[in-house]
Amino acid sequence: MRRAPSIRLIARALCELVRYDLVGTLFGFRRVHRELGRLGVAAVSTNAETAAAICDAVEWATLFYWKPVRCLQRSIATVRALRRHGVAAQCVIGYRAQPFLGHAWVEVNGRIVHDSPAYQETLQVLDRL
């Protein structure tokens, strides 16, 4: 069993969730999209355990957030946190037309992290950020 993520990682994840809400509310999703596209990957060496701790920290942060966190907000916050720690993560937005289903998830090296891998098989990709 993995250790719980550090309070520092959880606090950073909470900041990313708040940031998404503020930028999205003030400037719209286009700005969120553009900023995430411009955010490079930090030149930091991160192992798989650290990447998992970052994903766990985002999950913990959603428990403390004052309103429901949807998949897109969670995915963008996770990608931003992972990239800041040197992980080349992507936010993927997909959909199914009938019956409609839209979902966002995080991929690292083409593999979904902290979500069901079935989304890659059942949903059409709209965008990769």
Q: Is residue 121 part of a domain?
A: yes
Q: Is residue 1 part of a domain?
A: no
Q: Is residue 104 part of a domain?
A: yes
Q: Is residue 93 part of a domain?
A: yes
pLDDT confidence of residue 2: 63
Q: Determine whether 68 is exposed, middle or buried from the number of CB atoms within 10 Å of its CB (0-12, 13-18, 19+).
A: exposed
- 10-residue stretch averages of pLDDT, the chain, 129 residues long: 77 94 93 90 74 92 94 95 90 92 91 88 90
pLDDT confidence of residue 3: 66
Instruction: Judge contact between 124 and 96, C-beta under 8 A.
Output: yes
Which residues have CB under 8 Å from 94's CB, separation 6+? 102, 103, 104, 105, 119, 123, 124, 125, 126
Q: Is residue 2 part of a domain?
A: no
Q: Is residue 79 part of a domain?
A: yes
pTM of the model: 0.89
- Domains in the chain: how many in total? 1
Q: Hey, what are 102's tokens?
A: 């839209």
Instruction: Judge contact between 116 and 75, C-beta under 8 A.
Output: no
Identify the domain containing residue 107 by its residue range.
7-128
